[in-house]
Structure 1
């Protein structure tokens, strides 16, 4: 029998309870049964040479008091395991009951007894105990008052009167009366699935911070107050399921068009359309209304609601706008952001909204309120859009004198440098801000590189100036694409339509510089290795972008379309004139003038069995199919729709 380390078993005269405690401690090791003083000081209790006292108590000349542990008797393991299994089974049953109750409408539950849970008594191990806690749901008789069911909610309470998912889809179905019923696929979305899609959308708003969810937002609140906005959020956030997203987008168009034709104009409808447009590249449809038409509808609704006339007086930090005014200002800024960004991709298109002092005031009010984390970058995004409009207005004529071009370029480049240095801290935290800064800089040098300076023949330095602008444009595009490679696979899915179009436009600009640039002294795409840069960025982007989530045959998604079209562009860039020898051989010689000649050019091409060895150049893609002309302004939209 072993006691404390400093107690001897031979001369022990302790009472019977001490013997019991020592027997209970038999077999224990370590410092679990230190004396009271050592336990209080949390130090190791080391026995001394004297019996019944430890070294620390002996040194301090105090009594060494044994610590008596107060432990409850351990339950048998079999009972513990059985109790855990019972508790786990109860939780599963309660969760199943909550799901069935939340996804079943009251009208359906009253007429369909089979929608309730199976009897709990079917589980043998729980039949006696659970019958006292939860009775088997029976068919509800209209004349009788049903007993309230107490269940553990698996989601936060969405409100005092939560609506079911089925009732929400029934209300949407009533909106399209006469156009058929809603797709059965979307009617399977439950409240739980909706809440999950809301959280996904919350992470997407970094790339479009103009229509945001409240901090504590539940499906029940949106079903009652903002149903169209909820419909759009579910559509944009369901990119994990291609079939579901296509079905949602198709039904959303029907619901929205019916409401517009009925003359409805509300902030809920405006916000829903903005969300639908912001991620429209995931569900582009050639036969449906275009993005520009939807955007024109948004601008019209904003004008009818008078969002441009919302008062924006200076207020103290305590006196703030109400929620509706802040949401309305964000929506109006979202209209401008989309209109400004999309119009810059087509130089000939008229902007539906232009920068104004009202927009600047609204952006400043949003930043001052700082209701959400992304509100701080809203004024910077508006300033960047105004900068790109300034570039377009300055060099929009595509023909300027040399001195004016140089002076305007200096002004705009200094303006960009100032904006970039003033927002360096925010750009490190928000990818959207850094993204649009690089897009704005690329837009500036792309505009100057494409200018036609009509007095270049009379001024000797103009040729060198144009060459430097073209090379700077090339380096800006490469810097932007290199930044794009830093995105994760999930971030590509959350890019807004403006960011995605900027990515496609950057890669297309690189291909244009390799294929469609006019001759210029000192400009040689081969020596600059533009084709290799295009291949590198195209291959890296294609590898990082996500793959299809589903194995079903639903056609190509956004990223498969990107891989297919850029693969054709890659072939075209490889076949650019002067890139390599006719046979693709390494027997080449670069002359001093920059030309490359083949050492085998005097030999006749080999044709075994009458078949050419590949010396004949492949036809250019845009000569075979005119739709693949990357120099046309409609190429980007054809890229998105997949009509190439």
Structure 2
């Protein structure tokens, strides 16, 4: 008798169909035709399991305590080892030499001979992230999110509410917001990658939550401080693929082809939600911007549907700047494509005429954008940087400063004649406007910069550096005249001073810090650029840059800052690896027992975020 009662408690009603079971409705059969009343009314297929579904066990919460401690709602991050990445720095230098063609044999030998002996990898100890700490990270991210309007967080959102609706986006937010704490960032960064591969690659899940999470992660990807570890393209292409699978590239949702799709926040009525439209435009924005920075082909091309999405978002106060950003990005892409496909013509006069026509057309389109964009939006820092970056790009692309390899282009221009002096002066004027605006922003603004703004800063430094030596060669300047006309050293000093103020890594230590933050690393890179630039400017004299046997000789040849041997320790950034290995056999599954003294390498952060935190309201 006891056995039969126990068996009955473990089984659900075998006669309840799946539709009624999911909706938790009473399943009543009107006749013996095998279709219940609810399925007959709704026109659904009435499916009854041949065997009863086992009852899931539910965790019983103690009623004696209504307050949950931080220890109960916390995610545990295990110990990590940081492998030595000096070889990666050497590979990065070789790659830069291949792309830019900038280098010097003596400097190269010095850098290789100055490399320090390898040290054992450092360890990042295990730690817990409590609910209060997660709320603090979310609060800090609210200040950043305005610089990437394609993903928005409502004012009333909390860690528990995001855990329930958008757990992967929450994980991306926590990872991004922790970047000023390098050990925590690298631990969360590994969890982000592990969960992304498990849920999307292995399980094949697709949802707006995953797209938004990837967009946030890529938007604040620290390329400016660690360009060698560039996986941003892989992530953004994955987000574009998910968006296509969800049907965001169509006017009407079509989800019938895929079964493992999450509908949360994706569809409203018969159309996509505004959040979904913003995410799709954000994928185009990031894909195009990154492709321009690294001269790759974007995976997502502009289409008329994006115009429709942009127009539907213009009326919203929180999304009005999206259309302005997209227009600037499209103009920047057109400028780059026009010059990347442009072949030198035999007639110098015709080539000069085409160049002048292109510049006038792009200047007119940029002015049209200014006239049609409200001043309130133009005054936003990330919009202002984008506007001045495009103004500089109009001339920098025309003068070939962003050509790769630049040395080959420099040889062709030096042998064909002097560059257009008016274009050089206009490019210098546009570059000054860019840096003066950048330095006019409050220091704390830099903490919110996305990878797009940092890329604009790097491009501005590169253009102004190359412009210096081309103008000096064309106008016959000496070193003193060059310094007085091109204030790049002053700009670099000002940026380094601000980054030193903002960085949480001490700068007055003798030994290089073990876990420097990105602002510290970027400051050291700029200092290396300044040192190399000053050394080259000091050697400028009339006739310093000539072409001899197809080689550009003289001080115009620069060096990649990654080549600087003094920066090697700064690139020993802890990689996201548990005990230096990703082997599947070294991990344990949730709930498995472990031997004494052994720390399981699998920590189900996803279960905590989407479980415990999501239920705490």
Given the two structures, how large is their TM-score scaled by the length of structure 2? 0.60
**CA distance in 2 between partners of 1:623 and 1:549 (Å):** 31
Q: Which residue of 1 aligns with 2:385?
A: 435
Q: Which residue of 2 aligns with 1:303?
A: 244
Q: Which residue of 1 aligns with 2:504?
A: 549
Does residue 357 of the first structure (1) align with residue 278 of the second (2)? no
Kindly state the Cα deviation for residue 355 of structure 1 after the two structures are TM-superposed.
Answer: 1.9
Q: Which residue of 1 aligns with 2:290?
A: 342
**Higher mean Cα deviation, 512-521 or 471-480?**
512-521
Q: Deviations over 1:276-313 (max 9, x none)?
A: 1111117976786611111211111111111111449x
Kindly state the Cα deviation for residue 384 of structure 1 after the two structures are TM-superposed.
Answer: 0.5
Kindly state the Cα deviation for residue 512 of structure 1 after the two structures are TM-superposed.
Answer: 1.9
Q: Which residue of 2 aligns with 1:495?
A: 449
Does residue 292 of the first structure (1) align with residue 264 of the second (2)? no
Q: Which residue of 1 aligns with 2:52?
A: none
Does residue 390 of the first structure (1) align with residue 338 of the second (2)? no
Q: Which residue of 2 aligns with 1:608?
A: none
Give SS of 1:306's match.
coil
Does residue 231 of the first structure (1) align with residue 231 of the second (2)? no
Q: In the alignment, which of 137, 157, 161 is matched to residue 217 of structure 1?
A: 157
**CA distance in 2 between partners of 1:578 and 1:144 (Å):** 75
**Higher mean Cα deviation, 226-235 or 265-274?**
265-274
Q: Deviations over 1:145-167 (max 9, x none)?
A: 9544466xxxxxxxxxx998856
Kindly state the Cα deviation for residue 421 of structure 1 after the two structures are TM-superposed.
Answer: 2.7
**CA distance in 1 between partners of 2:297 and 2:319 (Å):** 29
Note if contact 1:561-1:642 (Cα within 8 Å) is conserved in structure 2: no
Give SS of 1:334's match.
helix
The size of the alignment, in residue pairs, is 420
Kindly state the Cα deviation for residue 271 of structure 1 after the two structures are TM-superposed.
Answer: 0.9
Q: Which residue of 2 aligns with 1:535?
A: 489
Q: Which residue of 2 aligns with 1:264?
A: 205
Note if contact 1:377-1:426 (Cα within 8 Å) is conserved in structure 2: no
Kindly state the Cα deviation for residue 230 of structure 1 after the two structures are TM-superposed.
Answer: 0.3
Q: Which residue of 2 aligns with 1:199?
A: 139
Q: Which residue of 2 aligns with 1:423?
A: 373
Q: In the alignment, which of 522, 527, 532 is matched to residue 572 of structure 1?
A: 532
In structure 2, the CA distance between the partners of 1:579 and 1:229, relative to structure 1 (3 Å rule), is same
Kindly state the Cα deviation for residue 533 of structure 1 after the two structures are TM-superposed.
Answer: 1.0
In structure 2, the CA distance between the partners of 1:382 and 1:580, relative to structure 1 (3 Å rule), is closer
Note if contact 1:515-1:576 (Cα within 8 Å) is conserved in structure 2: no
Q: Which residue of 2 aligns with 1:446?
A: 396
Does residue 562 of the first structure (1) align with residue 509 of the second (2)? no
Give SS of 1:560's match.
helix
In structure 2, the CA distance between the partners of 1:554 and 1:289, relative to structure 1 (3 Å rule), is same
Give SS of 1:188's match.
strand
Q: Which residue of 2 aligns with 1:4?
A: none
In structure 2, the CA distance between the partners of 1:309 and 1:384, relative to structure 1 (3 Å rule), is same
* Structure with max Cα Rg: 1
In structure 2, the CA distance between the partners of 1:166 and 1:290, relative to structure 1 (3 Å rule), is farther
**CA distance in 2 between partners of 1:469 and 1:620 (Å):** 22
Note if contact 1:273-1:294 (Cα within 8 Å) is conserved in structure 2: yes
**CA distance in 2 between partners of 1:565 and 1:532 (Å):** 20
In structure 2, the CA distance between the partners of 1:518 and 1:574, relative to structure 1 (3 Å rule), is closer
**CA distance in 2 between partners of 1:146 and 1:450 (Å):** 70
Kindly state the Cα deviation for residue 393 of structure 1 after the two structures are TM-superposed.
Answer: 2.8
Q: Deviations over 1:453-479 (max 9, x none)?
A: xxxxxxxxx989811112211221121
**CA distance in 2 between partners of 1:464 and 1:642 (Å):** 44
In structure 2, the CA distance between the partners of 1:285 and 1:446, relative to structure 1 (3 Å rule), is closer
Note if contact 2:182-2:516 (Cα within 8 Å) is conserved in structure 1: no
Give SS of 1:281's match.
coil
Note if contact 1:191-1:219 (Cα within 8 Å) is conserved in structure 2: yes
Q: Which residue of 2 aligns with 1:243?
A: 183
Alpha-carbon RMSD: 4.0
Kindly state the Cα deviation for residue 404 of structure 1 after the two structures are TM-superposed.
Answer: 2.1
Kindly state the Cα deviation for residue 499 of structure 1 after the two structures are TM-superposed.
Answer: 0.5
**CA distance in 2 between partners of 1:431 and 1:499 (Å):** 10
Note if contact 1:186-1:244 (Cα within 8 Å) is conserved in structure 2: no
Note if contact 1:185-1:247 (Cα within 8 Å) is conserved in structure 2: no
Runs of at least 5 residues in structure 1 that lack an aligned partner in the other structure: 1-141, 152-161, 174-182, 313-318, 453-461, 582-593, 597-618, 630-638
Give SS of 1:575's match.
helix
In structure 2, the CA distance between the partners of 1:415 and 1:557, relative to structure 1 (3 Å rule), is same
In structure 2, the CA distance between the partners of 1:526 and 1:307, relative to structure 1 (3 Å rule), is farther
**CA distance in 2 between partners of 1:295 and 1:144 (Å):** 42
**CA distance in 1 between partners of 2:213 and 2:62 (Å):** 38
**CA distance in 2 between partners of 1:563 and 1:145 (Å):** 51
**Higher mean Cα deviation, 192-201 or 552-561?**
552-561
Q: Deviations over 1:230-249 (max 9, x none)?
A: 00000111234222112111
Kindly state the Cα deviation for residue 390 of structure 1 after the two structures are TM-superposed.
Answer: 1.8
Kindly state the Cα deviation for residue 340 of structure 1 after the two structures are TM-superposed.
Answer: 1.1
Runs of at least 5 residues in structure 2 that lack an aligned partner in the other structure: 1-57, 79-122, 254-266, 346-350, 404-415, 507-511, 545-553, 565-569, 575-617
In structure 2, the CA distance between the partners of 1:519 and 1:191, relative to structure 1 (3 Å rule), is same
Kindly state the Cα deviation for residue 431 of structure 1 after the two structures are TM-superposed.
Answer: 1.1
Kindly state the Cα deviation for residue 339 of structure 1 after the two structures are TM-superposed.
Answer: 1.0
Note if contact 1:197-1:237 (Cα within 8 Å) is conserved in structure 2: yes
Note if contact 1:326-1:366 (Cα within 8 Å) is conserved in structure 2: yes
Note if contact 1:165-1:190 (Cα within 8 Å) is conserved in structure 2: yes
Q: Deviations over 1:206-264 (max 9, x none)?
A: 21111111232121121122111100000111234222112111221122122232122
Note if contact 2:183-2:515 (Cα within 8 Å) is conserved in structure 1: no
**CA distance in 2 between partners of 1:221 and 1:268 (Å):** 13
Kindly state the Cα deviation for residue 575 of structure 1 after the two structures are TM-superposed.
Answer: 1.8
Kindly state the Cα deviation for residue 540 of structure 1 after the two structures are TM-superposed.
Answer: 0.5
Kindly state the Cα deviation for residue 376 of structure 1 after the two structures are TM-superposed.
Answer: 1.0
Note if contact 2:285-2:326 (Cα within 8 Å) is conserved in structure 1: yes
Kindly state the Cα deviation for residue 529 of structure 1 after the two structures are TM-superposed.
Answer: 2.7
Q: How does 1:308-347 map to 2 (within 5 A)?
A: 308-311=249-252, 325-347=273-295
Q: Deviations over 1:112-133 (max 9, x none)?
A: xxxxxxxxxxxxxxxxxxxxxx
Q: Deviations over 1:410-468 (max 9, x none)?
A: 1111111121132251345411111111111111111122299xxxxxxxxx9898111
Note if contact 1:339-1:353 (Cα within 8 Å) is conserved in structure 2: yes
Given the two structures, how large is their TM-score scaled by the length of structure 1? 0.58
**CA distance in 2 between partners of 1:191 and 1:350 (Å):** 41
Q: Which residue of 1 aligns with 2:425?
A: 471
Note if contact 2:418-2:474 (Cα within 8 Å) is conserved in structure 1: no
Q: Which residue of 1 aligns with 2:101?
A: none
Q: How does 1:150-165 map to 2 (within 5 A)?
A: none
Give SS of 1:217's match.
coil
